[in-house]
Structure 1
Amino acid sequence: MGFQSESGPWRDVYLSGAAELRGQTKKSGVPLVDPVTLPLALLIEYTGLRLDPAKANGITKRIGLNTTDTKEKYTLVLNNSVLSLQKPTQGEKLDATYSLKSREIGEILGTGKNAGSFKGLGEIAGMLDHFDPAFSLVTPVEETKDRDDRMASAED
C-alpha cells in the first residue's frame, strides 16, 4: 500500500507506520523546532501550543516585550490558559517589561535558559510541556499509572 500511494506524504505515513510496527524506527532526539531562530510572533504561537492548561489555570499575566534587535514592541498576554501576543496600548498595566534580543526571548521560552533572571518569562517557561519528538505513529502509548488508578477506583 505504501509503495503504491500516489501522494508522497501518504506514502511516507504508510511506510513510517510499517517500519514502526516492525521495530525499525529511528528514535531521534532532534527537536522539531528551534525556538531561538523563530520570529517573535511565531515563537509565541509555538510557545502557546506547548502551554500546559493545568499549570496555567487561573493565572493572568501581561508582560511587555521590547526586542532590541528588531525594534518591535509587544505585550505578551496569558489569560484563560491561552498565550497571545498583542500590540501594546498606552497606559496598560504590565506585570513586567523586558528589553531583550529576539534570540534571548527564544532561549528563555524555548529552553528555559536564563529563565531565573526574568521572573515573568521564567514563570511562563515553567508552565510549558516538553514534547517527545520521537513519538509513536501507530503503536499505542503506554497508559500512565494515574489512569489505571482511576479505572480501578471506578470499578469498586
Structure 2
Amino acid sequence: MFLHFPILKASCHCSEKDISKPLHIPGLPPMVSLDFPGPCRDRNDMAYQYLLESSPEMSSSAGVIINIFYTLEHRALDAVKKGECRPGKQIPTFCVGPLVSSNDGVNGAEECQTWLDCQPTGSAVFLCFGSMGVFPEQQLKAVATGLETSGRIFL
C-alpha cells in the first residue's frame, strides 16, 4: 500500500477519507478508505506527508525485509516484486517471519510453527497484528468473541 501511495494520491484530488468507492491497490483486495490506517486517509495530516515522501525512498531501496511468510501474503509480495505497486520498480522482498518473541527472552516461533504443523490443513485461523496492533477494548473484545464463537482453533 505504501509503495502505491503516490499513485493513489495522483489518481484523486481529494483526501482518501472522502472517497466512497473501493480503491484498487495491486496485490490487495479492493479497500475502502476506512480500511486505511488513520494517517493515510487525511492529506492534511503530517504523517500523510511523511508517508508520501518516504514511499519513493522505499522503492529505491535494495529490498524490503518483511516479518511475514510468502504463503500468507503471496499476492501482495508478488505485486511488489513484479513492480505493480510502483510501475517499473521491481523491489526484492525478503520474508523473515513469522518472528515471534516472548517476555521470557525465548523465541516462541518454533513452538507456534510446531503447533500449526500438527493441525489439519486449513483448520486453524492465524492472526498477526504486528507491533502496531493496538485496538480499542471494544474492538479487541469483538475479535475475541468472533474467534471463540467461530468454532475454529486459532493462534
Shorter-chain TM-score tier: under 0.3
Question: Higher strand fraction: Structure 1 or Structure 2?
Answer: 1
Structure number with larger C-alpha Rg: 1
RCO higher in structure (CA 8 A, sep ≥6): 1
- TM-score, normalized by length of structure 1? 0.21
